[in-house]
Amino acid sequence: MNSLAATLPQGTGSGYVAAAYIVFFAIVLIYVAIMAIRLSRVERDVRELHARAGQPPQQPPQPAARPGDVGEPQLAEQPQLGARPRRQDETHGQTPEPHTPVRERETV
């Protein structure tokens, strides 16, 4: 900031004015950039969901998707099966509900 202010004409204070407005727009832009990164993450998740929606659902509590939704075959070709067996473990294994919050009791 110092160097920025120094490069601009001092007498009128225009350097400071420019710096202030630049700071303002820079921070708003940084915010927008962060939101863009987050948006791309959301997009990736939606794609993943979309790809999975094409597969016949394992244990659908609700209808998973309409059959017409299969689009994006290049993504659907590689179904992330990693999550499926884990789900089976969850429902039929020793511990039906591994995520149950023991925490809840402790923290209350």
Partner 1 sequence: MPIGRGLRTLSISTVAAMGVALGLVFFYAPIEAEEGFLQKIFYLHVPLAIVSLCGFVLGGLMAIAHLRTRDQRWDLRSYVTIHMSLILGVVVLLTGAIWARGSWGHWWVWSEPTLVSFLIVMLLYATYQPLRFAIEDPERQARYASVFAITAGAFVPMNFLAVRLSSSYLHPRVLGSSSNLPPPMALTFGVSLGAMALLFATLCSYELAAKRTRILLKSSSRILGYR
Partner 2 sequence: MIELDGLVRRYGEREVLSDVSLSLAGGQTLVVFGCNGAGKTTLLRVLATLLRPHAGEVEVLGCRLPDDAWQVRGRIGLLGHEPLLYRELTPRENLRFHARLHGVGTERVEELLAAVGLVDRAGEPLKTLSRGMVQRVAICRAVLHDPELLLLDEPWVSLDPAARELAWPLIGAGTGPDGRRTRVISSHDPGGGLAEADLVLGLRGGRVALLREAGSVDPSEITELYR
Tokens (6 digits) for 41: 């993450």
- In the list 40, 71, 83, 96, the residue contacting partner 1 (rule: CB under 8 A) is 83
- In the list 7, 24, 33, 89, the residue contacting partner 1 (rule: CB under 8 A) is 24
CA distance 46 to 98: 26
Measured CA distances, 106 to 52, 56, 76, 95, 97 (Å): 37, 40, 42, 20, 18
Give the interface with partner 1 as residue ranges (CB under 8 A): 1, 5, 12-17, 19-21, 23-24, 27-28, 31, 35, 38-39, 42, 45-46, 49, 52-53, 57-62, 64-65, 83, 87, 101, 103-104, 107
